[in-house]
Chain A
């Protein structure tokens, strides 16, 4: 294994908040194992400030403040019921139809309040795409699954190229190029999930939210989804919720650890800590994070 001085690393991070990020390749298999340097401040795509979410009287999330940086992969990890999916779904307003949903605090997306009165949630979701836990292709052909949203959004020019590009981007093109007219329901689970990713990137969103995208898949399909995330990095800002800590360690640049905390009696989810993935796994600041990542809890 590569030797890694976590103390020196965390000092380096602490000394330069939001300025220089060092990726060592220890936990991530992306890129060369040498250091990679980003210069200058990294722009925040999302800036959540004191976000609390309620479903009716039940509080699901309390006081989450989190910056999500551009063109990087941020993983949200934590035990079940700690609000990580709730937080993710609040980022593109997918919680809006949930009865009793209420949000406090502010989520800024490129500086705009996502929940301001003049914000159209359809426009929000056009820019912030989402892939769900269970593959949910439309009961249409493979081609039409990818082409449907661009067609409806008026992106009809060069549709064939767009579909091919999206399917290539989702590492599915070679498997389906000869049967684009076949039903998407005939694909395997892993292929269906990659089709859902292709469908999401076909409209070239700014952000891709992935809600446990591999939890319904076998290990081989999971590996292909993880490979895919590496190849999508840079083109999109990616936020992924995962139960699987190894997955977070393998794919994410930044990791946010959510936990349950009792506020006023009722336990609700909250953000414990967010840092570079290496820091979270090797030198977390909070003992709860350490207990969780070392398997002592959860």
Chain B
């Protein structure tokens, strides 16, 4: 290599290895763009496919009536299972996050964070098996509650990690200000920290709900033998639910069943997308509020 000498008076066209560096930079840029487009494209194809196949099934009757005309009981059942799961997972997840950011020591915190990440990667069928052994085997019957417990295990790390991230965004100067007023830490958490972080906590909870609403594997084990013709409310019975219905209908190998499966899929997808997008808007709003 010669010294990096150049003629300052030369025209400002690329010199030296700039042409090569430019080419590399362009390849990297195109590659990244293509990957991004592929990801969005796959999502687009899935949404488009579900919409095209499922749209013809959607009607008021489909949403309100029971089997064989519609998926009304499944909608109610899924809502109930996910609601109970949220009632279990949200308080535990939020308290866990509060413990880690506001009270716990940092060594323990990093261990618990690692545990949460591992939990997040747990295959949902394993969670289903675990709860099967825990509840279904012990009670000798499937139930919506067992499904809720499995979904709560899946939701917990999502809620806890999301809440930790948002709590870390609460400026430490607010904690100092509250400390300097002679107010105890728990009061500070209730009065200052939680209100500041509320938007973000809601967001992570909604994201967890969206994730859990579509989980199928645990429900196949825990809550799949039900009467789809009428609404069931008792959570200690097997509750009709959308994911297992989609599975059952698509196994039926009849054209109507297939259309209904697509329709149920479209309903589920719409719910998940609306929830996710709503959650992200909420998050952006609470972030900008905190940045003020």
Contacts and interface: CB of A to CB of B under 8 A. Distances in A.
Contacts of A235: none
Nearest to A137: B177
Nearest to A136: B173
A199 B176 CA distance: 13
Contacts of B179: 94, 125
A29 B174 CA distance: 34
A123 B182 contact: yes
Given A139-B195, A139-B289, A139-B290, A126 B174 contact: no
Chain A interface residue count: which class? Answer: 20 to 34
B183 interface: yes
A241 interface: no
Contacts of A153: 182-183
B2 interface: no
B168 to A, nearest CB: 15
A149 B173 contact: no
B109 to A, nearest CB: 13
Contacts of B216: none
Interface stretch (A7-15, A57-65, A127-135, A282-290): A127-135
A185 to B, nearest CB: 5
**B contact face: mostly helix, strand, loop, or mixed:** helix
A82 interface: no
B174 A200 contact: no
Given A136-B176, A138-B174, A126 B192 contact: no
Interface string B160-202: 0000000000010110111111111001000110011000000
B182 A149 contact: yes
A132 B182 contact: no
A152 B182 CA distance: 9
Interface residues of B, number: 20
Given A139-B289, A148-B191, A152-B191, A122 B173 contact: no
B205 to A, nearest CB: 20
Contacts of A149: 178, 181-183
B181 A199 contact: yes
Given A139-B196, A185-B292, A152 B183 contact: yes
Contacts of B173: 132, 134, 136
Contacts of B184: 122, 152
Given A125-B182, A203-B182, A152 B187 contact: yes
B51 to A, nearest CB: 41
Nearest to A92: B180
Contact of A200 (B180, B289, B292): B180
Nearest to A150: B181
A130 B180 contact: yes
B174 A136 contact: yes
Contacts of A130: 180
Q: Which 7 A-B pairs have the closest CB atoms?
A: A126-B182, A130-B180, A149-B181, A136-B173, A125-B182, A136-B177, A152-B183
5 contacts: A127-B182, A139-B289, A149-B178, A200-B181, A203-B182
Given A126-B182, A153-B182, 9 more contacts: A94-B176, A138-B177, A140-B195, A148-B181, A149-B178, A149-B181, A152-B187, A153-B183, A199-B177
